[in-house]
């Protein structure tokens, strides 16, 4: 009888321990799920708001109920509201598609949040816009009595005392008013003067940062490529054994690939070792070649250099 009681107690103890273990695991997984759900809801809420002030630094204000209110947190924005930066800057997103970066001493007004007519007015200052056009979405910037119609691009608009202009960093925009219109492509610039839109040469201060970014990109990706080659000892061994190439020889060949003198696609197809590893290097090669082509294009178009 005592033996049976002991067995019973032992079984009961095991059941209690198992039940507690299950309960603890349930609590842990529930908290993880709850945390992820909460984070998802925040992301979903932000991305689904028609207009959202995503980030800011320095002094930024929003015009609400006939008064300027200091921004102290990210917030939803509404039709007709104005946003201005004094010594600050901010990023605003419209319908999750148009990213607007207000520089210092700039002011905009939200004039439409319809998907097919996302529109703002640049009252003063400088804004940079990044927008990917889709069938459902269109984006416009009003500048004085003119409209900038976006075709999927990155562009800068200025409304300053001495300059009203549009400069295209990538893609295309249509700059028009009741007197004229100009289709602007990459690195084109147009100014609005006495209600007339005129094509002008982009300033050196607008082009040189792009040139410098491409130079920095080449340096970064060349370093990344070198690290990948050094990590891949098999590649170095086969290159040495099959072709008699040292690491320095490989780097020299890569310089010829970067300049377009050697086609790396053919080399990959003929290579006697893992092609996946070479394709990773080719992706880096393509980034370097793109930046090299941008530098050549800028130098030919503007005759600008960092020298």
157 and 176, same domain (yes or no)? yes
83, 3: one domain? no
Please count the CA atoms within 13 angstroms of the CA of 268 that sit on its side-chain side. Answer: 15
User: Are 58 and 185 part of one and the same domain?
Assistant: yes
Question: CB–CB of 217/291 below 8 Å?
Answer: yes
* Structural domain count of the chain: 3
For residue 251, the model assigns a pLDDT of: 83
Q: 307 in a domain, yes or no?
A: no
Pair (15, 155) in one structural domain: no
Q: Are residues 55 and 143 in the same domain?
A: yes
Structure tokens at 77: 């924005």
Q: How many CB atoms lie within 10 A of CB 82?
A: 17
Encoding tokens for residue 209? 């940062």
DSSP 8-state secondary structure symbol assigned to residue 12: H
> Containing H/E element for 192?
strand 189-193
72 and 122 both lie in a single domain? yes
What whole-number distance in Å separates Cα of residue 167 and Cα of residue 19? Answer: 67
Mean residue pLDDT across the chain: 84
CA 237/CA 246 separation, integer angstroms:
9
State residue 241's pLDDT score: 76
In this prediction, residue 42 carries a pLDDT of 37
Residue with tokens 């607008």: 206
Q: Does 248 fall in a domain?
A: yes
Rg for the chain, CA atoms, rounded: 29
pLDDT value at residue 242: 74
pLDDT, tens digit (0-9, with 9 covering 90-100), for 45-99: 444 578 999 999 999 999 998 999 999 999 999 999 999 999 999 999 999 889 9
CATH number at residue 185: 2.60.120.1440
Residue 123 lies in a domain: yes
Averaged over 28-40, what is the pLDDT?
49
Cβ contact 154:130 at 8 Å: yes
Residues 223 and 294 in one domain: yes
Q: Is the pLDDT of residue 102 over 70?
A: yes
| Rounded (10°) angle between helices 275-302 and 247-258 | 50
List pLDDT tens digits, range 132-187: 777 788 999 999 889 999 877 899 999 999 899 999 999 999 999 998 999 999 99
Record the tokens describing residue 253, joined without a space: 């060949």
**Does residue 38 have a pLDDT over 90?**
no
Whether residues 292 and 281 fall in one domain: yes
pLDDT at site 4: 54
Q: What is the pLDDT of residues 138-151, one digit of tens each?
A: 999 999 889 999 87
Q: What is the pLDDT of residues 206-247, one digit of tens each?
A: 999 999 999 999 999 999 988 888 887 777 777 777 777 787
190-216 average pLDDT score:
93
Question: Domain span at residue 191?
Answer: 51-201
The proportion of the chain whose per-residue pLDDT surpasses 70, expressed as a percent, equals 81
CA distance 245 to 249: 5
Cα–Cα distance measured from residue 29 to residue 299, given in angstroms and rounded to the nearest whole number: 58
Question: Which of 203-207, 239-243, 254-258, 268-272 is most confident?
Answer: 203-207
Residues 139, 276 share a domain: no
CA distance 221 to 285: 8
Residue 124 pLDDT exceeds 60: yes
Mean pLDDT value of segment 108-116 = 93
Chain centroid to CA 219: how far? 20
Percent of the chain with pLDDT over 90: 51
Residues 77 and 219 in one domain: no
1 has a pLDDT exceeding 80 = no
């Amino acid at each position: 009888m005592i033996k049976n009681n002991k067995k019973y107690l032992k079984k009961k103890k095991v059941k209690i321990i198992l039940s507690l273990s299950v309960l603890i695991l349930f609590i842990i997984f529930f908290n993880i799920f709850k945390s992820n759900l909460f984070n998802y809801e925040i992301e979903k809420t932000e991305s689904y708001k028609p207009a959202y002030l995503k980030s800011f630094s320095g002094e930024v204000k929003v015009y609400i109920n006939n008064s300027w209110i200091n921004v102290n947190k990210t917030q939803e924005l509404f039709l007709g509201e104005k946003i201005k930066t004094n010594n600050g800057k901010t990023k605003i997103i419209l319908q999750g598609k148009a990213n607007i970066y207000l520089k210092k001493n700039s002011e905009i007004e939200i004039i439409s949040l319809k998907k097919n007519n996302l529109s703002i007015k640049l009252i003063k200052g400088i804004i940079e816009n990044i927008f990917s056009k889709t069938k459902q979405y269109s984006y416009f910037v009003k500048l004085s009595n003119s409209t900038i119609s976006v075709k999927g691009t990155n562009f800068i608009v200025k409304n300053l005392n001495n300059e009203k202009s549009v400069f295209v960093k990538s893609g295309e925009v249509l700059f028009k008013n009741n007197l004229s219109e100009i289709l602007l492509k990459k690195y084109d610039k147009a100014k609005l003067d006495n209600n007339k839109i005129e094509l002008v040469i982009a300033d050196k201060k607008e082009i040189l940062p792009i040139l410098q970014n491409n130079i920095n990109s080449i340096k970064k990706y060349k370093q990344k490529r070198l690290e990948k080659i050094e990590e891949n000892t098999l590649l170095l061994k086969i290159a040495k054994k099959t072709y008699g190439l040292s690491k320095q020889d490989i780097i020299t060949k890569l310089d010829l690939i970067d300049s377009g003198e050697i086609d790396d696609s053919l080399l990959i197809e003929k290579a006697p070792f893992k092609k996946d590893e070479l394709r990773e290097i080719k992706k880096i090669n393509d980034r370097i070649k793109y930046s090299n082509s941008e530098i050549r294009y800028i130098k030919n178009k503007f005759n600008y250099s960092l020298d």
